[in-house]
Copies of this chain bind each other. A is one copy, B any other.
Amino acid sequence: MVVHASAAEMRRWCLERKAEGKSLGFVPTMGALHEGHASLMREAVRANDCAVLSVFVNPAQFAPHEDFDRYPRTWGADLAIAEKAGIQAIYAPKASAMYPPNYATYVQVERLQDGLCSGTRPHFFKGVATVVAKLFNAVPADRAYFGQKDAQQSAIIRRMARDLDFGIEIVEMPIVREADGLAMSSRNVYLSPEERTRALCLSRALFQVEAVMKVGERDAAKIIAAVRKEMANVDIDYIALVDADEMIPRDRIEGKILLAVAAQVGKTRLIDNIKFGNYGQSKPDLRGSAIEVPL
């Protein structure tokens, strides 16, 4: 496993592999790797001849009051997880190289970047789209892997990859959950035991929607009300039922629908979601996420 810090070196490594006729899978991350990331890496290794991981905590997607400084950095453990998954190269640039003096260029995915997480994090997706465009230029892969946990993010990246002609297929993988249902997140380490217990209401609320759907409920307002009731003990940021590609609010569950929730639990912001309909790359998860409910 090799580690590259410069975009030019990383790109050269990738182009050498491509010149050998090898396919490349890419897993962009902010490190603090958990089983969710590992599932992306294993799929990248399985479906491609070579797999590249990037580890970069992107300052451009954090607001000044957010957790950039205390975001978990676990480089040693990350290396071990990447090695075990079969990753062949890691791109780990420095922030000063990614954002040199007089940095001025930003990528934005209009409309899709509005709503949901943009309410509390207005500049978040601008930072995400920009850094992923940079990472895609350093790692000219055939396929890139993102988790459904960040569903708005993966819709934005998918649209950006198509619109800007990156020629990279975006693969969205199912949410990986703890045994009790909590969606895995690098931020879960912030939770106190009491908060950890309260946080379970996010996934519980989403799983209950499945039951409501089974008895034929398709009305967004009623579903959102049921979710809101279940999440009474956390500080709800949003509960949104939207078109899964366009992120536009929907009144009824028809077509590809994303039900996404965000809440503050103590000082930690958590997100979770579930998708309905014959949606893109996501596969059924027996533990409850990415459920494909026939309509």
Residue of B18, B111, B133, B164 touching A15 (CB-CB under 8 A): B18
Rounded to whole angstroms, the CA-CA distance of A166 and B61 in the bound complex is 21
Partner of A165 from the list B104, B106, B134, B163 (CB cut-off 8 Å) is: B134
Contacting residues, chain B, for A140 (C-beta < 8 A): 140
CB of B167 within 8 A of CB of A134, answer no
A1-34 interface code vs B (CB 8 A; 1 in, 0 out): 0000001100100010011000000000000000
Interchain CB contact under 8 A, B110 and A138: no
- A250 CB → nearest B CB, Å: 16
Q: Say yes or no: B112 contacts A104, CB within 8 Å.
A: yes
Complex CA distance for A18 and B7, rounded to whole angstroms? 17
Q: Does A100 contact B (CB under 8 A)?
A: yes
Indicate if A162 sits at the interface (CB-CB under 8 A). Answer: yes
* Residue picked from A100, A104, A110, most chain B C-beta under 10 Å: A104
Which of B100, B104, B163 is within 8 Å of A104, CB to CB?
Answer: B163
Q: Are A133 and B18 in contact (CB under 8 A)?
A: no
List 11 interface pairs A-B (beta carbons < 8 Å), by A numbering.
A18-B19, A19-B19, A100-B162, A102-B245, A103-B163, A105-B108, A105-B159, A105-B163, A107-B133, A108-B108, A137-B165
Chain A 150-185: CB-based contact to B (< 8 A → 1; otherwise 0): 000000000110111111000000000000000000
A54 to chain B, nearest CB (A): 12
Interface of chain A, main secondary structure: mixed
Decide: B110 and A105 in contact? CB cutoff 8 A: yes
Min CB distance A106 to B, Å, is: 6
How many angstroms from the CA of A160 to the CA of B8 in the assembled complex? 16
Give the distance to chain B from A23, nearest Cβ to Cβ, in Å. 12
- Which has the most chain B C-beta neighbours within 10 Å: A8, A111, A162? A162
Contact status of A167 and B105, CB under 8 A, knowing A18-B19, A162-B100: no
Q: How far is the CA of A167 from the CA of B19 in the complex (A)?
A: 17
Chain B neighbourhood of A108, CB < 8 A:
105-106, 108
CB distance from A208 to the nearest CB of B (A): 32
A107: chain B residues at CB < 8 Å are: 105-107, 133, 164
User: Residues of B contacting A106 with CB < 8 Å?
Assistant: 107-108, 110
Alpha-carbon distance between A133 and B104 when the two chains are bound, in angstroms: 14
A210 within 8 A of B: no
Q: Is A246 an interface residue (CB 8 A)?
A: yes
Q: Shortest CB–CB separation between residue A159 and chain B, in angstroms?
A: 5
Bound complex: CA of A44 vs CA of B133, how far in Å? 26
Which 9 pairs, one residue from A and one from B, show the smallest C-beta to C-beta distance? Answer: A105-B163, A19-B19, A7-B165, A137-B165, A104-B110, A134-B165, A105-B160, A105-B109, A104-B109
